[in-house]
Amino acid sequence: MSGPALKDVDSHTAIHEAALNEAIELTTMLDNLYRDNQQEKALELAYVLVEQWETRTLAHADSEEEGLYKDLVEENPEINDDIVALTRDHDLLRLIVKAIKQELAENRMNDGVIQRFQSLIIVDKLHNVKEMDVLPDHEH
């Protein structure tokens, strides 16, 4: 079973927006540090940003997959393909975070790391729009 906040569209939207806005702000700060050639600070912030994605967005994704998505498919089997697609979005986010961690460990900070963080934001934005369409009682 999923918690009430995940099933309530407004609460769920607030959870997504808070995590995404924080990620956007941190990514902008990271980009500025990197462009200002503050490599050590940028590297430090990159690890903070990885942790933010893991503890906020990916932890939320795990909760959705363990409860909400299963509940939604039980209630309406016709949305199974949408749930598969949303789960794939989560997998893409996990893969990109893993690639960032590997890049940071092997090569430290570079443009590719920032591009991957920006791609996380894009995938997450698209995912959130689709997810709100799938949640019941959502006005289209």
Question: Which has the higher per-residue pLDDT, 4 or 92?
Answer: 92
Whether residue 6 has pLDDT greater than 80: no
The CA distance from 85 to 37, in Å, is: 39
Which pTM does this prediction carry?
Answer: 0.89
The CA distance from 98 to 90, in Å, is: 12
The CA distance from 79 to 131, in Å, is: 11
Most confident of 9-18, 90-99, 101-110: 90-99
Helical (H) or strand (E) element with 21: helix 9-35
All structural domains of the chain with their residue ranges: 4-134
The CA distance from 61 to 15, in Å, is: 11
Whether residue 25 has pLDDT greater than 60: yes
The CA distance from 97 to 52, in Å, is: 10
Joined together, the tokens standing for residue 135 give 């949640």
Range with the poorest average pLDDT among 30-34, 38-42, 104-108, 116-120: 104-108
User: Average of pLDDT values for 16-28?
Assistant: 95
